[in-house]
Structure 1
Amino acid sequence: MTPYARRGVHGQTVEALARRILGGEIPEGATLDLVALQSELDVSLTALRESLKVLAAKGMVDARQKRGTFVRARGDWNLLDADVLRWQFEGGRTTEADRALLRNLAEVRAIIEPAAVRLAAARRTPDDLAALDDAIRAMGEDDSDAGHAVAADLAFHRALLKATHNELLERMEMVIESGLAHRDRIVHSSPHSENPVPAHRAVLDAVREQDPDAAETAMRALLDQAGRDLERIDGDDETEGPGPQ
């Protein structure tokens, strides 16, 4: 999916507004001053209204007679939308809301991925194994490059979902990928994270052997490792105290 910021003025306006809402700069319940926003963002009123329609479709804003356009409560936001997830984690920050969402993501992964990998073990094809092999190979190539490590990890989990040959499970990539990418950037930028290759290789070996039980066990071990990495980094942050905001 192409980020909205690459879609011209309209897309940049959507992302600017979304980041302000998700970051709390424009709080829940706030009524938007469209004239002030139009001037501040230097866009036409038409472009601004079209951008707000995008956010309305994602449950973030609404409009009412006599009240105007306002930010809806977070409980109304479509947090499963890939754009909303990506916007939540943008900007290089890790807020308490981000951490809560990462914890929620870990719980979702613990439900989905062990079951998905059982299907992958039963249904994988030679092409699926090749894609998983490529991801493992890339994961071990340059562990000093956080961006490379993130891309390789995403490729691995994307290939696993694809190997289920279940169209709906494949689409779960859209739900977890943005949050997983943010988690990976945090973890792979830390010198204290565990080497991810052995845990991923254990999953691949079980899938290759078409052993669903072993695949599920290996996936749960991988997810446990991911949790330990994040907890360790959270502990380091608390020890060091708050950094620059």
Structure 2
Amino acid sequence: MKKWIGLSLGALLFTLPAAQSFAGSFSITENSIRLSYSDGSPETVGLKGINKVLRTVGVRVSTIPLPEEALPLLKASHSRAVTEDEVADLLSYFELTREDLLAEVEAAGRKPTVENGGSLITSEPGVAPYPKVYDMRAMDADTRVWAQNKFGPLHINHSKEGVGIDEVMTIVSGGPWVWFFELPGDITGKLTFGYVGLDGAAWRVSYPGIRPHGGFLDSEFGLVIAYAHGPEEFIIHFDDKNLAGSKLVGTNPWIDQSGTTPKLLD
């Protein structure tokens, strides 16, 4: 499990050194991202429409170019787990500064949970801190089930004092990927991100950790650069009595957990 957790530091505005170059034209298209609704409403397809819906809960999706320097590692991640040294390289290629993180919060229509963004290193007790890298090739079958059971049900993240974290996930390889967000009207939205190839762009999603959300990690391979900031420590909560006042925390109608292996539902 250690290999899929990065330990070193690493927008509306995404800045990189001037010498950094990017991969070719974006292959991500409008129909490669969709938002499905647990009440059976018609899907929303495409970034513009999806962001209009997600903004009501402080969430925003964007795309960013893949830096040329990262491509060899991204290609390698298709067939093997990345090493600890390579994790450090990935966090460098996709680094987000304090200014970048604050720009992500603002672009999603939120205010940072802690003034000026708080601590850029935060963690659950006993768990490696953010920023980190989630590497699907580093997960054996048992770890995948563990991750699906942990992150799949809707949950909220906040400190003992009730201060939430701000989260930014950049999907740089593989897929498809699925995140979940509670939407107005006690609806669970299933956000499906299309495959990220070497000739395309990365997906980026910014969201408030204190609002109910989840994720389902079942891609054959792929990498996510994960950032969170705010309080120095937080706890993941699945309680039906929660600071978000949500009836949906601890549940997810899109996942069948009746068997030994969780199943994602259409």
Work out whether the TM-score is over 0.5: no
TM-score, normalised to structure 2's length?
0.27
TM-score, normalised to structure 1's length?
0.29
Q: Name the larger-Rg structure.
A: 1
**Greater relative contact order, per chain length (Cα 8 Å cut-off, separation 6+):** 2
Larger strand percent: 2
Larger helix percent: 1
